[in-house]
Amino acid sequence: MPYLDHAATTPMLPESLDAYVRVARELGNASSLHGSGRSARRTVEESRERLSEALGAKPSELVFTGSGTEADNLAVKGMHWARRTEARNRVVTTAIEHHAIADAVAWLGDHERADVTELPVDEVGRVKVEALAELLAERAAEITAITCMWANNEVGTLQPLEEIAALAEAHGIPVHTDAVQAVGHVAVDFGASGVDSLALSGHKLGGPAGAGALLLRRDTKVTPLLHGGGQEREIRSGTLDVPGIAALAEAAVIAVSRQKDEATRLAALRDDLVERIRAAVPDAIYNGDPVDRLPGNAHFSFPGCEGDALLMLLDAAGVECATGSACSAGIAQPSHVLLAMGAGEFDARSSLRFTLGWSTTQADVDALLAALPESVERARSAGLS
């Protein structure tokens, strides 16, 4: 079955799966002092070195987590708690963040009485840097942390992260980025980016679900979410998932090493998909930045269609895709990303996201285009009835 939902999860790379199985056969808690424990610890530290090197970070800057969501929550809540005072209680986010960030920030506002500012975006989903500059000029002393994703999970637009980090650095404000969609798909260099923390997830780049990481500069203060054994610099307690960590590192190293060539291949497939959708459905609206976007992302609105209905028609035809973030699938509400970009409510309900990955072939794109025209026609007819 053609699978065009790699932004939700992507198949494990064979090498990553092999690493997981191999390490899972070995006994050992990485916190134990006996031989089995030391062997497990060696696997963890070797994986830490490999993963950090692939991402332009130091091994001491890498904290293993159970997911990208955990890494996001640890960074945003942890930085806010570590820096807040009576006069400094504002978190700055953007209007297009993944729910792992958006809901964490909303929780801080609702339960911790944090002041929250959302930066607006333009019509292609790019954060308006000038809005941040104006905010910093007026309220920099109030801000505990700034969070901005590296690449949008719905429309694929890449964000002006280096500009945001430079503005924040001038005021001594830490910046977090959710790079879950970016790592392995575009060039990511933590050291050069200027950000203070970065979240990633294994299952978005060919690794296992349940394994993630937070890159965190040594001088960035974070209050832990979890307390217990003090693993991971006493920032993230919990017994380490040694097989998951080994498989995550293996997948990331491979994805990063192949990133440039794979981006070229996927962008060509995506451009073919986009051109053929426009020819087959002339009034379809291509969302996101047409140039500065993830190579495997194609996001369209189909006027007159309910996105959920169109998705199920394609699924019945054997093609799998998404209406947006997998975390909100099945919830009957318009895309908050498209609304922030200026779309009307119905257009924000009429979108589909096609995302390509390492296992995508030309045959998958061909299958989509074979099924799409009739599916759109049937979805529009259902909407009129």
**Band of pLDDT at residue 238, cut at 50, 70 and 90:** very high
pLDDT tops 70 at residue 119: yes
Inter-residue contact 172 to 40 (CB < 8 Å): no
Q: Of 238, 254, 270, which one is at a domain's C-terminal end?
A: 254
Reading the block at residue 228, the tokens are: 């217990």
- Please report, for the domain that includes residue 373, its CATH number: 3.90.1150.10
Sheet holding 212-216, edge to edge: 62-65, 212-216, 197-201, 175-178, 143-147, 90-94, 115-119
Answer whether residue 102 shows pLDDT above 60.
yes
Q: Is residue 5 part of a domain?
A: no
Residue at which a domain ends, from 202, 227, 254? 254
Position 4 in a domain: no
Cα 363 from Cα 368, distance rounded (Å): 9
Q: What is the pLDDT of residue 332?
A: 59
> What pLDDT is recorded for position 325?
47
To the query of whether residue 305 is one of the catalytic residues in this protein, the response is: no
Residue-wise pLDDT for 22-47, tens only, equals: 999 999 999 999 999 999 999 999 99
Q: Are residues 233 and 341 in the same domain?
A: no
Q: What is the pLDDT of residues 52-93, one digit of tens each?
A: 999 999 999 999 999 999 999 999 999 999 999 999 999 999
Average pLDDT, the chain: 96
9 lies in a domain?
no
**Closest among 105, 151, 94 to 353, alpha carbons compared:** 151
Domain boundary pick from 254, 285, 313: 254
Question: The domain containing residue 61 runs over which residues?
Answer: 14-254
In a domain, 6, yes or no: no
- d(CA 236, CA 301) in angstroms, rounded, equals 41
Same domain, yes or no: 225 and 306: no
The count of domains in the chain is 2
pLDDT in tens, 176-235: 999 999 999 999 999 999 999 999 999 999 999 999 999 999 999 999 999 999 999 999
127 beta partners: 121
Domain membership of residue 337 (yes or no) is yes
Indicate whether 324 belongs to any domain.
yes
Looking at the structure, tell me whether residues 91 and 127 fall in a common domain: yes
The CATH number assigned to the domain holding 22 equals 3.40.640.10
Residues 158 and 235 in one domain: yes
pTM: 0.96
Residues 301 and 199 in one domain: no
Q: Is 265 exposed, middle or buried (0-12, 13-18, 19+ CB in 10 A)?
A: middle
| 242 and 270 fall within a common domain | no
The reply to whether 237 and 335 lie within a common domain is no
Indicate if 192 and 333 belong to the same structural domain.
Answer: no
DSSP string computed for 109-128: HHHS--EEEEEPB-TTS-B-
Q: Are residues 267 and 335 located together in one domain of the fold?
A: yes
